[in-house]
Amino acid sequence: MLLIRRSVGQESTYDAVMIALAAAHGIVLATWPTPPIIAIGVWWTSNTIAHNFIHRPFFRTGVANRLFALYLTLLLGIPQSLWRDRHLAHHAAMRPRVRRSSELSVQVAAVLALWTTMAVRNAEFFAGTYVPGFFVGLLLCAVHGFYEHHHGTTSHYGPVYNLLFFNDGYHVEHHARPGVHWSRLPEHRDAGARQSRWPALLRWLDACGLNGLERLVLRSRVLQRFVIDVHARALRSVLTAAPKRIESIAIVGGGLFPRTAIVLRRLCPGARLTIIDASSANLDRARRLLDPAGVEFLHAWYSPAHPQDFDLIVIPLSYVGDRAAVYADPPAAAVIVHDWIWRKRGTSRIVAVPLLKRVNLVCR
């Protein structure tokens, strides 16, 4: 503990925990060297311990930090000098380049020596267990990194994920303050941050899950009529609790299959509709499905932090943002939030049990 960079306080304790977990990873890897253990270890340790060590080295002395970086290099099969330079270039929005150094040479030589020893002593294990696990781990890291920044840097505030990954979900906040210790990132939570309800590795579900269902609906007129009818009943019911006459409506997303716009044109005749969608392709599809009279199509990411001038804002189930903040501080006089059936807020109606969906009306 005397070598740890911050000798007193909570942060030094957290650093000691990471050092202990890195040691535990080595023990587990030596005891059960299976492809899943290798893959998960490469992915998890790279995105937690190694990542935090890059930004805030754990030890007071350079020698101790270099020795720990060498240990992580052998543990993960990834030279940490290379990983550090690449990652810091990412934060600086610069093209990564290989920076030659004696430390990098030692790390590369150590990895090659380890791999050669494994291949010579047990070629079957190296080729059939270690190499597949290592490359799957790299693939998991690539997917993780891609979806942390797909459509812009994105945060995930799920408490379980952030417990297991040391607040890695606070990614917008980390990019804004890369030198802040991971334990303090929740103190800097950005109310306007782009966010996802999925952690990075599962964030493809934002696109493939709900959008896949939308595309399925588009293939069937029967499904389209069903979806429009059940939404019309639910929206008609909650709109009776709206505080005033609705003359302007913003619909966030909804361009792929503009059922909300179709329904609200019936329920609020004469109201001005604005569809805000980050996908230009979805907006083009909506233009083909809707009479454009009285409808504005806005290609943009929606943020509640931006000035609003609408009587009603409709938030989709696939909303990439802080849904809890929308409920707590509605960005318009009336806000309808599409949500899962088990999340009841404000004036609420179930859309359809098979869809596992309800709409919630919250007002200022």
Tens digit of each residue's pLDDT (9 = 90 or more) over 184-207: 999 999 988 988 888 999 887 665
Q: Mean pLDDT across the chain, nearest whole number?
A: 88
Domains of the chain, start order: 10-149 (no CATH), 206-363 (3.40.50.150)
**Contact of 238 with 253, CB cutoff 8 Å:** no
Q: Is the pLDDT of residue 38 over 50?
A: yes
pLDDT in tens, 241-295: 888 788 899 998 866 678 888 889 889 888 899 998 888 888 888 888 888 787 8
Distance CA 206, CA 319 (A): 9
Residue 286 has what pLDDT?
82
Residue 255 has what pLDDT?
60
- Number of H-type helices and E-type strands within the chain: 15, 7
User: Where does the pLDDT of residue 2 fall: very low under 50, low under 70, confident under 90, or very high at 90 and above?
Assistant: very low
The closest alpha carbon to 81, from 61, 117, 110, belongs to: 110
The closest alpha carbon to 114, from 83, 70, 81, belongs to: 70
Taking the mean position of all CA atoms in its chain, how far away is CA 78?
A: 24
Distance CA 247, CA 312 (A): 8
Average pLDDT over residues 299-320: 84
More confident residue, 305 or 88: 88
**Greatest CA separation found in the chain?**
78
Q: Is 217 left (phi over 0), alpha (psi -120 to 50) or beta?
A: alpha
Helix (H, G, I), strand (E, B) or coil at 273: strand
Q: What is the CA radius of gyration of the chain?
A: 25
More confident residue, 254 or 2: 254
Q: Is the pLDDT of residue 3 over 70?
A: no
Taking the mean position of all CA atoms in its chain, how far away is CA 66?
A: 32
Inter-CA distances, 268 with 136, 199, 239, 329, Å: 52, 37, 10, 24
Lowest-confidence segment of 99-108, 150-159, 184-193, 354-363 by average pLDDT: 354-363
In a 13 Å sphere around the CA of 87, the CA atoms on its Cβ side amount to 21
pLDDT in tens, 51-96: 999 999 999 899 999 999 999 999 999 999 999 999 999 999 888 8
Instruction: Strand 248-252: give its sheet, edge to edge.
Output: 295-299, 272-277, 248-252, 312-315, 334-340, 357-363, 347-352
284, two tokens: 């083009």
User: Where does the pLDDT of residue 7 fall: very low under 50, low under 70, confident under 90, or very high at 90 and above?
Assistant: very low
Distance CA 139, CA 63 (A): 31
139, two tokens: 């693939």
β-partners of residue 99 are none
Distance CA 208, CA 37 (A): 27
Residue 1 has what pLDDT?
44
Residue 8 has what pLDDT?
41
Stated pTM of the model: 0.63
Distance CA 125, CA 119 (A): 8
